[in-house]
């Protein structure tokens, strides 16, 4: 649940429902006038919506620094107005806005209600300054944890602070760095990290860590862990002793890690602030001891293993505290993710990348740097500062114009029912794609298949040029990619039934594609779109 920009095609897909929406507050004199005004705002890029189950909350807003200025609110007829208003505030807190500003004239009863909700009338505008009590949850995931440091960088830029931090495994180690408050220390650690600096294992020196070298390292890793009943984490202990300040951890914000006691296989939640200085690193290691690959941690005659076995994403621990916002960073580690339910008053910002973050146990500084950048950019996008589905573009990047130009070109090739295109796009991409942003979804489709790295912000014309260049190159993976990623890539690239191969076959066909459109509508449009962007005048003008 979050506030997203709405497009005309979104409303047309359920026009009857839009026509039944009603004013939440007296921004206009009638419901029909408000709907007309909202439609105009949508065309200007100022219309947004929140979809909550079957309900709609439609919002016209202007972003002003760290506030939202609201000039229209419409809700579904079956949506309670108080719940809808709470949803608006939750959406603002999800983006960490400082205040909400509502522009309308209120009668006496509404004035009293707004005042009771914390709004003040200032120069004809009802304003509420939002108060934050934020919790941070960091999941386990081994070497993938570098992503969480990138998330932290983006949160620091927004000056977001935490009233509680909870982590499991690598999330606990990163949580310690965050509570300590030294970003540069954390960045340096992850930029320099290698597997032999975390675990007591020696790999054969190789000039380039290609596929065969990675397979060899994994074999060594597994063989050593089986022989030793878990590889010693003494190098990690030394690393933590060098980088962590126990005094800062004791005096920082409340900080909890999750570990698992064996043989009872019992979840143990440890309040790091309340531990003695001598115990702090023991408990951090206990949370991250992924047995049998890593040795168990012994603390006062008890043995502990990775907290992910019982609670890899410990949201439930954070929810025991009086928080109003929750930032959850999931790096897809193995283990048990407990189900949880948020109250309507808690705003959740969940960050879980659709991209692979690499192997769990092979720490590589280059891959860590890429994952840090990915975490940073995905957080910026989640906070509304960038756009894109899988890739990243400035908010000013204009994909609507490119889409309009392509649709004009399309009329000369095949007849397309734009009203029927919306559900077909949703079915193909497995998410809602407004027709106006068709060009963005199509470009990202090709970029993914020709392996354009996502870890940067693109200009649209630069993105097109990169796609076309890589389309002509041999299909090679980044050498930092893991063994699993390379195996999956091999299978994917040799699957003649994949979407990409179907699009490629259509693209390479001579002549008109009209006969294929009815059977494969979106692959056919993708093939025509690729023909379009390869035209010399298109790349030159865009």
**Which tens digit of pLDDT belongs to each residue from 354-363?**
999 988 888 8
Residues 149-167: what's their mean pLDDT?
97
pTM (2 d.p.): 0.93
pLDDT, tens digit, 9 for 90 and up, residues 289-337: 988 878 889 999 999 999 999 999 999 999 999 999 999 999 999 999 9
What CA–CA distance (Å, rounded) separates 346 from 237? 36
> Rounded distance, CA 392 to CA 413, Å?
31
298: left (phi > 0), else alpha (psi -120 to 50), else beta? Answer: beta
- Rounded mean pLDDT, 176-198: 87
The residues that bridge with 62 in the sheet, in sequence order, are 69
Whether residue 55 is predicted with pLDDT greater than 80 in this model: the reply is yes
> Active-site residues: which are they?
169, 306
Residue bearing the bigger pLDDT, 355 or 192: 355
Q: Is 317 helix (H, G, I), strand (E, B) or coil?
A: helix
Using one digit for the tens of pLDDT, what is the confidence trace for 406-461?
A: 999 999 999 898 888 999 999 999 999 999 999 999 999 999 999 999 999 999 99
- Which tokens go with 406? 């392509």
pLDDT digits (tens, 9 = 90+) for 61-74: 999 879 999 999 99
pLDDT of residue 24: 92
How many angstroms separate the CA atoms of 10 and 7, rounded? 5
93 — pLDDT class (breaks 50, 70, 90): very high
pLDDT at 485 over 80: no
CB 100 within 8 A of CB 89: yes
Residue 206: the pLDDT is 47
Predicted pLDDT of residue 536: 55
Instruction: Provide mean pLDDT across the span 1-12.
Output: 92
Share of the chain above pLDDT 90, in %: 70
Question: What tokens appear for 504 in the block?
Answer: 């490629």
Question: In the predicted model, what is the mean pLDDT of the chain?
Answer: 90
| Rounded distance between C-alpha atoms, residue 279 and residue 276, angstroms | 5
Pairing type for strands 99-102 and 255-262 reads: unpaired
Mean pLDDT (whole number) for 338-348: 91
The interaxial angle of helices 399-411 and 521-534, nearest 10 deg, is 100
Is the peptide bond prior to 513 cis by the omega test (within 30 degrees of 0)? no
435-453 in b/e form (b: 16+ CB < 10 A) is bbbbbbbbbbbbbbbbebe
Phi and psi of 196, rounded to 5°?
Answer: -75, -5
316-330, 364-378, 485-499: range with lowest mean pLDDT: 485-499
Q: What are phi and psi of 505, to 5 degrees?
A: -65, -40
Asked if 3 contacts 49 with a C-beta cutoff of 8 angstroms, the reply is yes
Q: What is the pLDDT of residue 207?
A: 46
Assess whether pLDDT exceeds 70 at residue 23.
yes
Q: Which two tokens stand for residue 474?
A: 């041999």
Per-residue model confidence as pLDDT tens digits over 230-274 = 677 788 888 899 999 999 999 999 999 999 999 999 999 999 999
Q: What average pLDDT does this structure show over 340-354? A: 93
User: Reduced to 3 states, what is the DSSP secondary structure of residue 452?
Assistant: coil
Confidence of residue 538 (pLDDT cuts 50, 70, 90): low
**pLDDT on residue 192:** 81
d(Cα 270, Cα 307) in Å, to the nearest integer?
11
The pLDDT tens digits of the residues spanning 101-131 come to: 999 999 999 999 999 999 999 998 999 999 9
Per-residue model confidence (pLDDT) at position 31: 96
Which SS3 state, helix, strand or coil, does residue 278 take?
helix
**Quick one: 495 exposed, middle or buried, by C-beta within 10 A (0-12, 13-18, 19+)?**
exposed
């Amino acid at each position: 649940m979050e506030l997203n920009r709405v497009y005309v095609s979104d409303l047309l897909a359920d026009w009857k429902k839009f026509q039944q929406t009603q004013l939440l507050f007296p921004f206009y004199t009638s419901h029909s006038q408000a709907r007309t005004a909202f439609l105009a705002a949508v065309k200007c890029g100022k219309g947004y919506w929140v979809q909550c189950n079957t309900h709609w909350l439609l919002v016209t807003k202007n972003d002003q620094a760290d506030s939202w200025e609201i000039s229209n609110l419409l809700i579904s007829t079956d949506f309670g107005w108080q719940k809808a208003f709470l949803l608006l505030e939750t959406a603002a807190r999800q983006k960490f806005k400082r205040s909400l500003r509502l522009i309308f004239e209120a009668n006496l009863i509404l004035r009293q209600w707004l005042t009771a909700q914390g709004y003040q009338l200032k120069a004809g505008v009802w304003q509420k300054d939002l108060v934050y009590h934020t919790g941070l949850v960091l999941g386990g995931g081994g070497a993938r944890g570098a992503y969480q440091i990138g998330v932290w960088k983006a949160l620091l830029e927004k000056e977001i602070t935490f009233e509680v931090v909870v982590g499991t495994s690598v999330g606990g180690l990163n949580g310690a760095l965050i509570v300590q408050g030294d970003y540069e220390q954390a960045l340096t650690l992850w930029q320099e990290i290698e597997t032999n600096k975390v675990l007591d294992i020696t790999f054969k020196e190789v000039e380039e860590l290609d596929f065969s070298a990675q397979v060899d390292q994994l074999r060594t890793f597994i063989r050593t862990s089986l022989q030793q009943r878990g590889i010693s984490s003494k190098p990690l202990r030394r690393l933590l002793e060098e980088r962590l300040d126990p005094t800062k951890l004791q005096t920082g914000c409340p900080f909890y890690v999750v570990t698992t006691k064996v043989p009872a296989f019992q979840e143990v939640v440890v309040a790091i602030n309340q531990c003695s200085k001598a115990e702090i690193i023991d408990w951090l290691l206990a949370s991250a001891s992924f047995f049998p690959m890593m040795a168990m941690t012994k603390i006062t005659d008890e043995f502990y293993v990775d907290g992910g076995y019982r609670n890899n994403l410990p949201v439930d621990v954070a929810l025991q505290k009086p928080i109003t916002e929750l930032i959850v960073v999931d790096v897809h580690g193995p283990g048990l993710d407990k189900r949880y339910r948020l109250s309507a008053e808690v705003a959740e910002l969940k960050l879980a990348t659709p991209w692979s973050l690499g192997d769990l146990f092979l720490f590589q500084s280059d891959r860590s740097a890429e994952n840090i950048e990915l975490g940073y950019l995905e957080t910026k996008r989640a906070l509304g500062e960038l756009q894109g589905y899988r890739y990243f573009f400035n908010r000013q990047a204009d994909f609507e114009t490119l889409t309009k130009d392509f649709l004009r070109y399309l009329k000369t090739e095949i007849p397309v029912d734009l009203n029927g295109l919306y559900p077909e796009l949703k079915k193909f991409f497995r998410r809602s794609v407004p027709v106006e942003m068709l060009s963005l979804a199509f470009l990202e489709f090709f970029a993914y298949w020709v392996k354009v790295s996502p870890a940067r912000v693109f200009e649209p014309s630069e993105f097109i040029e990169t796609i076309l260049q890589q389309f002509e190159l041999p299909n090679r993976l980044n050498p930092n990619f893991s063994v699993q990623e390379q195996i999956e890539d091999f299978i994917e690239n040799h699957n003649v039934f994949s979407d990409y191969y179907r699009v490629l076959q259509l693209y390479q066909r001579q002549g008109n594609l009209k006969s294929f459109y009815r059977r494969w509508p979106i692959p056919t449009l993708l093939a025509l779109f690729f023909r379009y962007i390869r035209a010399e005048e298109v790349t030159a003008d865009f």
